Structure 1
Amino acid sequence: MKPISRIFLFLLFISASYAISYAQENQSYFLHTIEKGQSLYSIAKMYNVTTNDIIRLNPGCDEKIYAGQAIKIPKGKESQKGETFHTIQAGETLYKLTTIYNISAKAICEANPGLSAENFRIGQVILIPLEQEQETETAQAPAEKTAIQGPVQSRCKDMHKVKRKETVFSVSREYGISEQELIAANPELKKGMKKGQYLCIPYPSATTMQPTAPKEDPYAIPPSNNELFRKSKEAPQAISTIKAALLLPFQEDKRMVEYYEGFLMAVDSLKRTGTSIDLYVYDCGKDVSTLNTILAKNEMKNMNVIFGPMHQQQIKPLSTFAEKNDIRLVIPFSSKGEEVFNNPAIYQINTPQSYLYSEVYEHFTRQFPNAHVIFIEPTSEDKEKAEFISGMKQELKSKGMSMKTVNENATKDMLKEALRSDKDNIFIPTSGKNVMLIKILPQLILLVRDTPEQNIHLFGYPEWQTYTRDHLESFFELDTYFYSSFYTNTLFPAAIQFTNNYHKWYSKDLVSKFPSYGMLGFDTGFFFLKGLSRYGSELENNLPKMNLTPIQTGFKFERVNNWGGFINKKVFFIRFTKNFELVKLDFE
């Protein structure tokens, strides 16, 4: 063989190998488009993979990721429930997905409560439930004949997930079949029907034994997304009496008692307006065994909403129970639970850090579009705010905003050199500790007094609420801002009224700490109980309409993905103006 021919064949072999390798690789992952606030950790938890799995397919993403970036997620790692994931492609519709995966539109919608006709778009990742069992039944031919069978048809026309208060009668009527047909297809119904149970919906008797499947009309127009989503939507259900449970470690932590006391005040306030509420209260301690004993009680399966727990180790079993029994779970305290990424029943009040920071960055650049940011770094290796500062610098760089860094020991003159006369000069310490404030405030005060023509502000952190008494005058003089997802001014009318009522109810004052657990109990109780009273089963679709003014804790709930739960993205900026006014900035 000539050398040129050998080279050609070798190159051809290499090209073919590369093509096969690429095809195999292309089938080994799907794409996820990063959204604001998502981190590698949260993305990994969404898809039941590790961060190392993602880094392996996306080299460099451990150093930097950004909203809008498409990254590869390895396939083959099923979700926690055994389903798979699908990234919507160009030209795909909900109807097309039902044909690809051989499942009903209703099953897809139930698995993805965050999916709608409005957000069904290219790049969206959705959860595909397990395929319906293809149990088959064929027509029996006479023994003496060997008739050729036609195409086999599935025994189940559809699958139905049993909801609360449904009966054999109501389900059979919903699908236009008799009760006998439903029971024949699901013999286990003879022992009773349970919420969450999946039922095989057989074909009506007139067509069940047809040996061949009906031919599809090639000229028929497939149903639109709007039509399929509308048909798959559950009928709204009002809640006449709200059943709510509090599961908290009362004996172990006195703050839980104050939370409960504030919650009771919310219940009383709503009952006065005609809302019917049955409240169940349990001390769940911190052990999983204690929690399981409570969950075994008959009444727990009938709750509309559960508030708790406090301890991290109890979140997973409680969230599993809530999802299984179609109960909303409000987690008021922890921000580190990962269950919210795969459990649609969860509301997480305390915002996960990456989502919180993302909201702060966006509000910061909107509030200070002409900012020149000056970071003040401590002399020690203090990494307390490293993640926040790193993200802030990345955001400022992406917006083309100027920044500079100075040391905490910088004198007034050194700070003056860092200023820009054409910008709003925003000083941000890279530590939120009080010792840092004590060190930098005197020089900043001298700077402001020496340069009255300059626009100078100080920007900081939620924990500064606890230092206000020590630095109130300095905060006002420096036109200080800090961010927080909770805040109340004791001089606000609502805060005064609540504080006075609390004292009347319990003959004691609220604990002087931030956040106030009494106010947190009132805010969370009032928001969710009012929402369930007003919207019933449609609460999730009406969250933006819940325009309630909280005493302390704001709420802005968004789903983490199409199949997961809700996190609270509400962030306030608190401003101490030079006119000695205290302003709570709400950006919604």
Structure 2
Amino acid sequence: MNRLLLVVVILVLTFTSVSAQNFSTHNVKNGETIESIAERYFVTPNDIYALNPDAKKELKPNTVLIIPISKANPPKVTIVKEIKGFKTHKTRRKETLYSLSKKYEILEDDIKKHNTFLYANPLRKGDKLQIPIFKVTETVEKQTKDYTVLPKEGKWRIAYKFGITISELENLNPDMAEVLKEGEVIKVPNIGGEEEKEVDEKYSYYKVLPKEGFYRLKLKLGLEKEELEALNPILKETGLKNGMVLKIPYSNMAGDAEVDLKRINLIDSISDFNKKRIAVMLPFRLNRVDFDSTEDTKSSIKKDPYLNASLDFYSGILVAIDSLKTLGLSLEVDVYDTRYEVGEVTKIIDENNFEDVDAVIGPLTPVTFDKVASELRVYNIPVISPIGKKLKLYDNVFQSRPSDDLLKNKIINFVKTDSLVNNVIVISDTQNKDIAKAIMLEFNNAKQILSRKNKEGKDENYVLVDDIKDVLKPGKNVVFLETQNNGFASNVTSVLASLIQEENKDLRKKAMEIVLVTTNINSAFEGDEINNTHLSKLQFHYATASKEYNENVNNAFVKKYKSMNNNITPNKRAIKGFDLTMDVVLRLVTSENLYMSVKDVPLTEYVENKFFYKKELLGGYFNNTVYLVKYDDLTVIEVK
């Protein structure tokens, strides 16, 4: 038996036991390609390759392919046979009705019908037969119906409702816009007697990524295959498909920290086009700016760090507002100068009506932020802190900056889960002895190295080669470096880089790999004294609240920012202003309010920042996600 045919038979038997109605077969004809077959059955070439792996190598005529039936367009094939004429055939020895039916690609009954003597007599040598010649017309009908988009429905909700992927929905509606509008009529599958699935607000929803299997989802979501199938019965029929939307328990994830969970793009889910009112509070301190001349104004900006930071952050907000308006969203943005004064904040709240404000971004400084949050709490208005870390989390507070503990735990857990680590070393100065001690408690067999000290017992901020060399082991060594001192960081990284050793069998030297990490990324690792070549050589890993965007990628935000700001490249504060504003507004227009968005949207991600809010039991919301990055060939990249 042909090996491909054998595989087909085995697969057919396997799938028949699961759900025979979800697969069909196709006999390949001359000139057909995988692409043309996929188009005919409304599936993708990859869908066919998944069930017919040998088809990647060669597609031969008469090969039998297994075809998955797309729920988006289950094909209804109608075959019409029309007689064009007849051909005379004189029967030869050993010919049978079966062999003749195969030769002329017709049914045995077709031969008998036009040679009625064969109903009573067997076929004999020399019989003259009339062989019908058919014109076969085969039509494939799409099974769709019109559907009117309901309020607050985006692509993913409709795809989930009809048991298809977002891509399949888009294929049904090639002219569909990025954002669906209430009352819009689109094409959806005609699922017959099946019930449309409803989006249950008590659950979260997850979009399956390319090449994701049940094992990967178990790591991400902490759910076994059987649990996912119980929540999503369609999985038993179709298996996992790229782009399908799964129901999962609300905020269900493995562990407390955010894992690699990618949420559905909020732009796909915009449902509320009513005007949103946003208040922005920043310490511009314009009352301190000297406007007598351009030079005086520039000088004021340079001298005032609060004004400088506020202008950067606000420049990103302006780009976000422009981007949101291009999506058809209507915004009213009130901008207030808090002057970095609690009294000014009180005055702003007293003299302005905040009752219909949907969200407040800012203030930047802790004391003024606390005042705003506590005052607006009575109106249940969400107040989002751009940079604060140790805030009093009233029930209306959103802390967008992740905590230091989350950053620390991210890198410690990363090291713990690396099975190749052979040795852990902790290097620190006196100022960081507490964090060094905490790391030592996490790794029982870790070795500790402290900065060399002078006669008075004060740190000299250096170590010697032998200090580190004596505690290294062959294999993979992970070194925690905890310091805020530029000189100490420079000294340690230089020494470590010099001790990396490749295997040399001739000299009987074993490989010595050294990976540098820190629980607290700070200016000590970014100053001019640090050699980035050393950091790259040491694969320097750290956790960070924001990653660096790739300058080599054509980034739409960067392009727009430059066009709006005289070709100036955005800094981190500007990017945070953009990311945070985009997130706040998109959450408002895709959920009932910002609070409900925490349940509706577990994770969002933009240019350099991502947001995964969790609620304190008796308090507000905190961002529970960070990036893990490393130096690689003089570039900082995200560790997946």
Q: Give the TM-score taking structure 1 as reference length.
A: 0.52
Structure 1 letter corresponding to 2:402: T
- Provide the C-alpha distance between the structure 2 equivalents of 1:245 and 1:573, rounded to a whole number of angstroms: 32
Relative contact order higher in (CA < 8 Å, ≥ 6 apart): 1
1:441 to 1:362, Cα distance in 2 relative to 1, 3 A: closer
Report if the CA contact (8 A) 2:316-2:578 is conserved: yes
Partner-residue secondary structure (3-state), 2:435? helix
Report if the CA contact (8 A) 2:281-2:336 is conserved: yes
Of residues 239, 242, 250, the one that matches 2:276 is 242
- Provide the C-alpha distance between the structure 1 equivalents of 2:396 and 2:614, rounded to a whole number of angstroms: 13
Matched, 1:372 2:420: no
Deviation at 1:550, TM superposition (A): 2.1
Partner-residue secondary structure (3-state), 1:488? coil
Residue 350 of structure 2 is matched in structure 1 by 296
Matched, 1:447 2:472: no
Of residues 352, 359, 368, the one that matches 2:403 is 352
Matched, 1:530 2:586: yes
Structure 1 letter corresponding to 2:336: Y
Of residues 603, 613, 626, the one that matches 1:571 is 626
Partner-residue secondary structure (3-state), 2:610? coil
Q: Name which of structure 1's ranges 561-570 and 503-512 shifts more when overlaid on structure 2.
A: 503-512
Of residues 444, 449, 456, the one that matches 1:405 is 449
Structure 2 letter corresponding to 1:517: R
Report if the CA contact (8 A) 1:555-1:569 is conserved: yes
Report if the CA contact (8 A) 1:258-1:518 is conserved: yes
Structure 2 letter corresponding to 1:288: V
Identity rate, percent: 15
- Provide the C-alpha distance between the structure 1 equivalents of 2:356 and 2:625, rounded to a whole number of angstroms: 30
Structure 1 letter corresponding to 2:535: F
Report if the CA contact (8 A) 1:239-1:537 is conserved: no
Structure 2 letter corresponding to 1:555: F
1:332 to 1:267, Cα distance in 2 relative to 1, 3 A: same
Gaps of 5+ in 2: 1-200, 204-249, 251-270, 286-305, 453-461, 504-509
Structure 1 letter corresponding to 2:485: K
Residue 440 of structure 2 is matched in structure 1 by 393
* Superposed CA RMSD: 3.1
Of residues 461, 471, 480, the one that matches 1:418 is 471
Residue 430 of structure 1 is matched in structure 2 by 482
Deviation at 1:462, TM superposition (A): 2.2
Partner-residue secondary structure (3-state), 1:302? coil
Q: Deviations over 1:330-349 (max 9, x none)?
A: 011221222x1xx2211112
Q: How many residues align?
A: 338
Residue 549 of structure 1 is matched in structure 2 by 605
Structure 1 letter corresponding to 2:399: Q
- Provide the C-alpha distance between the structure 2 equivalents of 1:386 and 1:350, rounded to a whole number of angstroms: 25
- Provide the C-alpha distance between the structure 2 equivalents of 1:414 and 1:544, rounded to a whole number of angstroms: 53
Task: Kindly name which structure, 1 or 2, has the bigger radius of gyration based on alpha carbons.
Answer: 2
1:428 to 1:553, Cα distance in 2 relative to 1, 3 A: same
Report if the CA contact (8 A) 1:250-1:285 is conserved: yes
Partner-residue secondary structure (3-state), 1:260? helix
Q: Deviations over 1:417-459 (max 9, x none)?
A: 211225x211122213321122122221220147771221111
Residue 467 of structure 1 is matched in structure 2 by 527
Q: Deviations over 1:463-501 (max 9, x none)?
A: 25633894221111112112211221452526x543332
- Provide the C-alpha distance between the structure 2 equivalents of 1:433 and 1:392, rounded to a whole number of angstroms: 19
Of residues 476, 497, 514, the one that matches 2:536 is 476
Structure 1 letter corresponding to 2:618: W
Report if the CA contact (8 A) 1:499-1:509 is conserved: no
Report if the CA contact (8 A) 2:614-2:624 is conserved: yes
- Provide the C-alpha distance between the structure 2 equivalents of 1:508 and 1:552, rounded to a whole number of angstroms: 19
Report if the CA contact (8 A) 1:531-1:539 is conserved: no
1:103-502 aligned at under 5 Å gives the runs 240-251=274-285, 252-338=306-392, 340=393, 343-367=394-418, 370=421, 372-378=423-429, 382-383=430-431, 385-397=432-444, 402-405=446-449, 407=451, 409-422=462-475, 424-449=476-501, 453-460=511-518, 461-463=520-522, 466-467=526-527, 470-491=530-551, 493=553, 496-502=555-561
Deviation at 1:369, TM superposition (A): 6.5
Q: Deviations over 1:278-301 (max 9, x none)?
A: 111111111122111211234322
Report if the CA contact (8 A) 1:332-1:348 is conserved: yes
1:18-97 aligned at under 5 Å gives the runs none
Q: Deviations over 1:523-565 (max 9, x none)?
A: 1001111111111226535457354332222222211x22211
Report if the CA contact (8 A) 2:584-2:594 is conserved: no
Q: Deviations over 1:50-97 (max 9, x none)?
A: xxxxxxxxxxxxxxxxxxxxxxxxxxxxxxxxxxxxxxxxxxxxxxxx
Q: Deviations over 1:155-182 (max 9, x none)?
A: xxxxxxxxxxxxxxxxxxxxxxxxxxxx
Structure 2 letter corresponding to 1:279: V
Residue 566 of structure 2 is matched in structure 1 by 507
Report if the CA contact (8 A) 2:398-2:620 is conserved: yes
- Provide the C-alpha distance between the structure 2 equivalents of 1:287 and 1:569, rounded to a whole number of angstroms: 30
Q: Give the TM-score taking structure 2 as reference length.
A: 0.48
Partner-residue secondary structure (3-state), 1:576? strand
- Provide the C-alpha distance between the structure 2 equivalents of 1:394 and 1:279, rounded to a whole number of angstroms: 49
Report if the CA contact (8 A) 1:458-1:480 is conserved: yes
Report if the CA contact (8 A) 1:238-1:537 is conserved: no
Matched, 1:521 2:589: no
- Provide the C-alpha distance between the structure 2 equivalents of 1:387 and 1:569, rounded to a whole number of angstroms: 24
